[in-house]
Amino acid sequence: MQTRSISTLFLAFTATLALAGCGHGGSISTRTGGTGTLNVFLTDAPIDLTDVLSVNVTLAGVTIYPAETSDPTGISTETSPVSLLTHPATFDLLTLTGGATALLASGEVPAGNYSRIRLEISDATLIYKDATTVPLKIDSNKVDVPIRFHVTVGADNSVALDFDAGASVQVNETGSGTFILRPVVTPVP
């Protein structure tokens, strides 16, 4: 990534604190009885598609998954995932380079430890500088991003995800010239 803005550094610091809270040796229950606010931000590393004006991705769902826990007898207990995005939202990934971010989803969630975020993609298009629009074939409409974080009761918690447009948009090698979206999404440290 290029130089980050102060807000991006604050997000990275907040995410680092949240991740650091997950790494101590004690066992914290996934749900601690309260709620905290979780903000999931989206960013993108610079892209090397010089003739491209925008890469638009429509996300239809953002779901967070609690970390697996065990009861005192060692039996694994599973808790329900939490949906944060209830309506589709479109993001131009090329506007999210150079440290820029966009709020992807936000909401009150049960406090505790979480282990992944799932993004559901419903549509994607590539727009060239000459205004030509090309639909992107979506290789997989669900992307699971492994990211461990903790939501603290009563706190405003944040995580950031890098949706790498340059690595995600590929040309089909069969000669048809079809563009394929193979989402490459990683946590921002």
Band (pLDDT 50/70/90 cuts) for residue 85 is confident
Q: What are phi and psi of 9, to 5 degrees?
A: -65, -40
Q: How far is CA 54 from the centre of its chain?
A: 19
DSSP-derived secondary structure letter, 156: E
- Of residues 31 and 115, the one with the higher pLDDT is 115
Place of tokens 């005192």: 72
Domain of residue 117 covers 6-23+36-187
- At 69 the pLDDT is 74
Where is average pLDDT lowest: 1-5, 68-72, 75-79, 116-120?
1-5
**Cβ atoms of residues 158 and 39 within 8 Å:** yes
CA distance 187 to 16: 11
Where is average pLDDT lowest: 7-21, 73-87, 156-170?
7-21
How big, in percent rounded to 5, are the helix, strand and coil portions of the chain? Answer: 15, 50, 40
Does a structural domain hold residue 67? yes
